[in-house]
Each structure stands twice: as structure tokens, then as C-alpha cells.
Structure 1
């Protein structure tokens, strides 16, 4: 219910002491009405006057502000969000349901502290590496500095201890804790780089050392994360932002090549030329003899993604199958091919998924990329590997099949609506192909864990 009217108020009444009015406000602080100090003043004095067609001397006309009698909106808290996303936190919920809840949280509360806290709690509610690293990836995408301690704990292979039921529950959970998978720990390192907080530097420096960390993928993730943090410190956040016309909204491990992202030494070594063509970028992407660093190869990868031509897709497809130096690099290439959603990359992705000698983290990304492309020709191989003994490969194929079903239905509905519009307009009625739009990239591909 709302009320609004105009009353004539004598000027002397406006000189009421602030302290007196404050007392009145304090006395009514328990009320559900939501109005300011001056609204309260106007409300009280309105009962002393009647409506008038013209103001008497020394009177001013003030419209009585609208009073909202509806209850105030519920404050967003960790507890309220835990209730909203109880299925995400429930170990008995199915994997596909929990992943959908991760995506829902990403679309609504990812950039809030309660949202990040719910994700941090979710990490230790599952043994699924796929779910864990999807959750950790999105924590990094939040950009929330408050998440750094939890991410450092994952990198150190220590439980986060987000247990609302208390210390006893946390201690009990530690009894059967076998440690985080390499994929989850790598994701934590990458997330620390995405947040780019200096508070993470000490831990990242420690785990980039071979004597401290035996897993190459984790060491390389720390190297990339440190490089991203140092780049932000030296060149500012603007240097890490994607080009204005870039359709991809993910926070990438490294930016694309640009004058702003290259050091003076790099520019000098390349004779002042910034590599921005497929011809210039391909040798950097495919270099494994030390002529290009891992950082430069990542930058070449994302520059090629932004170019997005057939030639760029072909170069990335070659890198996925020809590289032998870094599983981390290959898994990021597979993710980028999923972002591009180009059917011409399917042979390389299928070959990576079928390769039993390939790292699980690469095969998992290849499966999810095939799901993002959503071509019926890939359904047999996805069904075949949906029963694979490697959990993250198996789960990724199951999710890929669900992604395919969702987007096939989405495209069918979209094409049907478009065809109906053309028929109504008397135009062509041939259905269009897949709908490769930003919404699709944003809702599915961005929610990966690199």
C-alpha cells in the first residue's frame, strides 16, 4: 500500500531539533516502515494541517513522500544462500543437478561474498573431481579476495574447513581426507591467478618449485598465476582485460598478445612487432624447443581464439594433438576449442578423448568441448566413454551428453521459432544451423574448469 498527498507546513516547524527527531526515530526503529528522518517529520506534522488550495503566509508546500508499507527485502547472507543452494551442498544430490546449481549460482550470486562462501563450502561436500574443479574454477572467476585463504588451502592439499556445524564436524571430516586431486589443486592455483591478489604470491612461489611439488601441471599453473599477478602489478588491471570486441567473458589464465601485455624485453626480442596474425602466432603456439615460453604459448593460444578463423581453429587443433611438452597446455587448448564451438575441431578432440596415453585432465576437457559443440556425430564416442573407468573422463562424457541434449533442444526451439517467423513473413523456411551466440558461450562454456 502506498500513500501520497500534499500538505502545507509552517516554516518554523522545520526548525525542530535534530535530537528530538532522532529520539522519535529511535523509538520507532522496530517498525517495519522504511522512511527517512524528514519523511517522519512530514508524516507527523501532516496531521496538524488540512489540505488547502493556496498557501497562507510563511507556509511552504511539500509533497508528502510516498510511504512503502511493504516489508524490507531479505538481506543476502551466507545462511540464506546455503538454504537456497542446499541441493548443491547435499552430497546425496546427483552430479548433474549439483553442476546445474553451480551454474545457477554463477549467474546470480557469483560476485557476492555469500555466494563465494557457499562455493567454498561445496568443495568438501563431494569426492567428484569434476564437480570440485568446476566449483574452484568459478571461485576464481568471482575475483573475490576473501577466497584466497581457501584456495591456498586447496593448493597446499589441506581441507578448507568450511563447516557451519562447527569444529567437531571439521575434525571428523579430516579423519577420512585423502587429499585433493591434481586437477583440483591445479584449478586452485589458476583461480589464485585469476583473482590476482598479492596475498597468494608466497604460496604460489613455494609450489612452483620442483622440490616442493612433484606434479608438473601444478607447478606450471603456479608459474602462470604468478606471471598474471606480476603483470597486473606492473601494467595495471587494464592490461589483463580482453579486447573490447571479444565475445568471451571468462577470466583467462593469460591475456592475448597486445602491446600492453608485452614487456619491453619481449618487444625488443620480437623487433617491436606484436604477433597478431595466424601466421605469426602458429610457430609460437607449436614451439616446444624452448624458443617460446609457456606464457607466450598461452598468449598465442588466446590470441588465436579471439581471431577465431578456420585457420586459427586448425592451428589450435594441431597444438592439441602435436604438443608433447605440457598436459596443462593441451587441456587449455581443448577448453579454448570448446569455447570456439567449431565442428572442424572435432577430429582432434575425439582423438584426444580416445587416447588412453593422454592425461585425464586433457581428455576431460576434450569431452566437455565436444558437448559444447553439440554435434550429433560425436554422440557415439561420448556414449562409449560415459562408462570409462577414469572418473573425470566418465563424468565429463555424461555431462557432455546432457549439454548436447540441452543445446539440441534449445537450437530446435530457436530454429522452429525462426522458421515460423520466416513463414509468417513469406520468406525462406529452411532451418538454420546451430545457434553459436554469446548466451551459449556464457551459460555453458564459461562455467568450465580449466
Structure 2
């Protein structure tokens, strides 16, 4: 049983800008795992922070928690044009992840947002909610225990899925469905097909490819992820996701690029590399879990 005082202590770590960013990330993911209204409230309070990366992850965690108590704050973040595009995008995606159709009208309003990443995200979220309404008898589950922005396609042939994934004339929702189907297949051909997706489509699409490759944790895609991270002309939101994927893969082949770009001129890229290096250390340690805020708190005298 997690006490109110323990949740508060973890929440204060999340809000403390003097703490190293990796420590705040671990606090955030601890709150996500704890769940409940108090955890949602502490996470929601952090949207005033100066780190776009942290705020992006706040929205991601609220979506993954699927707690409807988070809907009001996510709508405010989506509506706030002063927030960075990658933060507003993640708020839109989180509203789709929670799965309540009452947000359809607000999502449809932002399907024409002038920021393309926000518009595309809201279009996908609308499609996801409509799919859920039409397929109530089908499970909305992932083998990776994630709430995905699109259900996987029913097709399992890697060649056919690759064709859909890379076809920029196809609807984005269909390409996303192919992406998650390839992830679920998970063999090396599927991994390499996904890695090709880092070179095509919108920044939002490439960003999601990076995320999926991080879930797979297959070293076969390290060269493509590294090349994309190193490409300074690439969108920072794509480079950030590639950095986090390299941290999740956590092989020695990932280290050089992460260390090199931990001082990058783009704040979201350098912070992502710093967090990824912490993830790398965790994956190569004997620690029980990454979200260790509660463990550390309970172990302290």
C-alpha cells in the first residue's frame, strides 16, 4: 500500500527543477505505476516546467494511465499554443489513449491545427476513438503493455506490412497500424522494415518509428537510429526519440552517439541523451525497476 505521504514525496521530486532530469523521470514513471487521482494531480502540476522533454513525458504517462481525471489538464495543454509542438502533440495522443469518446469534438477541432504534428496527432486520435467505438469486441491490448495510438493491422506478412508502412500515399492511420503490426511480429525482417521508416513520412511518423524501435530493443536498428540522431537537420522530436530508443536498446554500440550528443545545442536532444544514458545504466545494472522512486523512498532511513 502506497501512502499519501509517499506519493507526495515522489511528486515533489518530480516538481523539483534542481533535481537531475533522470531522477525526475524516474519519479514520473513511479507515479505512473502507482496511479490514482493523487498521482495524476502531481503529474499535472509539472506542465509549467521549462523542459519540453519532461512535459512530453508527462502527457505520455497520463495517456498510458488511462485515468479520465487527466482529461481536463490534457485539453488545456493541447489548447495552449504557447506550449511546444511536441508537448501539444503528446497531449492530443494521450486524449486518444484514454479512450473516452467525449473528447472527440475537441480533437476534431485540432485536426486542422497549423502545427502539422498537432494536426496529424489529433487525426490519429480521432481515428483511434472511432475504431474503438466500432470494434468494442476486439481487445485493445499490446504485448508491450503500452496504449498505442493505433491498433495493429491484422496482416502479419512482413513484406506486405513494409509496403504499407513506407507508402506515403496511404492514410497515416493505416501506416501506423502497419507499424504496430510489424512491432508485434518483431523478427529481424520486421525490425529492419521499421528502421526504413526513419527515412520517410512526416516528423510525427518518424518520431513514432523511433519509439517503436525502442520498444523492440533490437541492436539491428542501432546504425539507423544513430544516423538519425546525428543528423542535425532532422526534427528535434525525431532525434529525441532516436536517443531514447538507443538508451532502451542499451548495447555498447549505442554509447558513443549518446555521449556525443549529451551536450547538443538542441535542449530536447541533449536532455534525451542524458535520460537515455541513465536508461542505459539501468538496463545494464541489477536494479529491479527503472521507476524506482518508491523503492528509494522506502529504503531511506
Compute the TM-score of the two structures, normalised by the length of structure 1.
0.62
In the TM superposition, residue 84 of structure 1 has moved relative to its aligned partner by 4.4
Aligned length: 292
Q: CA deviation at 1:443?
A: 6.1
Check if 1:254 corresponds to 2:126.
no
Q: Which structure would you say has the larger Rg?
A: 1
Q: Secondary structure at the match of 2:284?
A: helix
Q: Of 13, 20, 23, which residue of structure 2 is paired with 1:97?
A: 23
Is contact 1:232–1:239 with CA below 8 Å preserved after alignment?
no
Match for residue 278 of structure 1? Answer: 158
Compute the displacement of 1:406 (Å): 2.1
Q: Which residue of 2 aligns with 1:127?
A: 50
Distance 1:219 1:156 in 2: 12
In structure 2, C-alpha distance between the alignment counterparts of 1:222 and 1:237, rounded to whole Å:
24
1:35-86: CA deviation from partner (whole Å, max 9, x where unpaired) = xxxxxxxxxxxxxxxxxxxxxxxxxxxxxxxxxxxxxx89x65x87334421
Larger proportion of helix:
2
Residues 364-418 of structure 1, C-alpha deviations (whole Å, 9 max, x = no match)? 00001011111112212111111101001000111111211222223xx9xxxxx
Shift of 1:237: 6.6
Q: Tell me which residue corresponds to 1:138.
A: 61
Q: Give TM-score, length-normalised by structure 2.
A: 0.91
1:93 CA drift (Å): 2.1
Contact 1:316 1:333 in 2 (8 A): yes
Q: Is the CA contact 2:211–2:241 (under 8 Å) kept in the aligned structure 1?
A: yes
Q: For 1:311 and 1:254, how far apart are their aligned partners in 2?
A: 21
Secondary structure of 1:387 counterpart = coil
Partner of 1:149 in structure 2?
72
Tell me the equivalent position of 2:14. 88
- Selected match of 1:345 from 205, 210, 221: 221
Q: Distance in 1 between matches of 2:253 and 2:6?
A: 44
Whole-angstrom CA distance in 2 between matches of 1:106 and 1:153 = 20
**How do 1:225-240 and structure 2 match up within 5 A?**
225-236=125-136, 238-240=138-140
Q: Which residue in the other structure is 1:200 paired with?
A: 103
**SS state at 1:276 partner:** coil
Q: Distance in 2 between matches of 1:385 and 1:93?
A: 21
Q: Matches of 1:301 and 1:186 in 2, distance apart?
A: 19
SS in 1 for 2:243: helix
Structure 2, unaligned runs of 5 or more? 293-301
| SS of alignment partner, residue 409 of structure 1 | coil
Specify the SS of the correspondent of 1:85: helix
Contact 1:240 1:254 in 2 (8 A): no
Superimposed CA distance per residue, residues 317-345 of structure 1 (whole angstroms, 9 cap, x where no aligned partner): 11112x0x311111110111111111110
Residue pairs, 1:25-424, within 5 angstroms: 81-107=7-33, 109-110=34-35, 112-124=36-48, 126-157=49-80, 179-209=82-112, 213-236=113-136, 238-242=138-142, 246=143, 248-258=144-154, 275-288=155-168, 290=169, 292-321=170-199, 323=200, 325-410=201-286
**What SS class does the counterpart of residue 153 from structure 1 fall into?**
helix
Question: Residue 298 of structure 2 corresponds to which residue in structure 1?
Answer: none
- Alpha-carbon displacement from aligned partner over 1:173-225 (angstroms, at most 9, x marks no partner): xxxxxx2111100000000000121221121111101xxx2111100000010
Determine if contact 2:210/2:225 at 8 Å carries over to the other structure. yes
Quote the offset at 1:238 in angstroms: 3.3
